[in-house]
Amino acid sequence: MRNLLALLCLGLLLAGCQTAPRRPAPPDLIGTAAPAGFPASVRLVTTDQKNFAVLAPAFFSGLRDAVATDGSLDILALSGGGSGGAYGAGALAGMTRAHARPRFEMVTGVSAGALLAPFAFLGPDWDARMHDAFTGERSAELLRSPARNILSRLLSPRGLPHHNALFKLVDHFVSPQMIVAVAREAASGRRLVVATTDLDKHETVLWDLGEIARHGGEKARALFRDVLVASASVPGVFPPALIRVREGGEEYDEMHVDGGVTTSVFSTPLIAGIQSTDLPLLRGAHLYMIVNGQLARTPRTTRYNTVDILANALAAELTYKTREAVVDNIAASHRLGMQFRLTEIPVDYPQANFIDFDQAQMQALYDYAADCAARGLLWLTPEQSVRRNMATQHAPVSDAPACPAAAPASSP
């Protein structure tokens, strides 16, 4: 920790004289720029009303076709949370064990949730690879890399985004087989959507990974991978992803970082709530939200150093953004008659900070969530979650925390 603090201090001294090489960003807030070799329809800036109106009919008609296979629309929204992503992975694995895992017609993800989203989308056959991705040695490398990455990025930024531990982790698991499998499922109408933050625009961008995968080949795999890397690239911990785009015959670079900078979790595009108060296909849908973090925290003394202060500030920001998203989704679910279920890491679970990728802790969190899900003790109504987390007193951190739905305060 002291070494990381020293590197951060050095970074403050050097940051003013280091500029990473890149092309200029596209000049328009809402334009026609698209990744080279792909149509503009593979993504949406969330404030782009015009393109939403153009893309929505095909997007939702595809979902209608997917729903026809089992008669219900099941949506899974996966939040950010860094190392807390092991919670979501365990939850899905436990649902598989209990034979209670829906075939989700739409899966959305942000940050750690974006990394989890393809596994959630592809279903139980990918559980073993999901477990490895969130608890294996490659994920443990994320714990050892931040200090080294920060110094290296400051002193020699060229090329480093393709050599950090996050890139290597994602590049390994985004295999040609994954791209083929996602493309096959997307062809049935199912949707896989993740968010990044475009730093040049200060906007959330939603990426249709299914459509990207359907283009096939190494170009599709590379863009699929780079979007996932960008969505999980916490600023200051991992370098941003530069995504090459073309517009009007010119090439530009867009700088994308962690989707959690602008949105913590989502079930429908922001513009959907602005443009239309009635999305007929969503009426009666089942919305499942996995929060890969805690929505309340037992007080712990923050040490007076830059690293702890920054880590806690980021965690507090994520907590409040996620609470706001939960409240927004409560309103939307009431309006559309959706059944909304939520799970989160309980306040008394002994969770480390969200950038602590210790392998043993991530395995313990995975096992905890898997056990709760297998026993049918995973899901709360969002109202139950809000009541529990707004209680005046919280249980102290426990070595044997109760499952989310077993907590006394979660009862109606």
Catalytic residues: 111, 258
DSSP-derived secondary structure for 13-35: HHGGG-----PPPPS-SS---EE
3-state secondary structure of 395: coil
Backbone phi, psi, residue 348, to 5°: -90, 5
Strands 191-198 and 43-45: unpaired
Distance CA 119, CA 131 (A): 10
| Token pair of 84 as six digits | 């807390």
DSSP-derived secondary structure for 71-117: S--EEEEE---GGGHHHHHHHHHHHHHTT-----SEEEEETHHHHHH
Residue 357, Cβ density class (10 Å: 0-12 exposed, 13-18 middle, ≥19 buried):
buried
**H helix count then E strand count, the chain:** 15, 10
Find out whether 28 and 193 touch, Cβ atoms under 8 Å: no
Tell me the CB-side half-sphere exposure of residue 182, using CA atoms within 13 A. 31
Find out whether 276 and 53 touch, Cβ atoms under 8 Å: no
Distance CA 115, CA 244 (A): 21
Distance CA 393, CA 134 (A): 32
Of 34, 24, 355, 80, residue with least CA distance to 205: 34
Buried b (16+ CB within 10 A) or exposed e, 371-390: bbbbeebbbbbbebbbebbe
Q: Chain centroid to CA 53: how far?
A: 25
Backbone phi, psi, residue 86, to 5°: -60, -25
What letter represents residue 213's amino acid? Answer: A
**Tokens 């499952």 belong to residue:** 403
Distance CA 182, CA 186 (A): 6
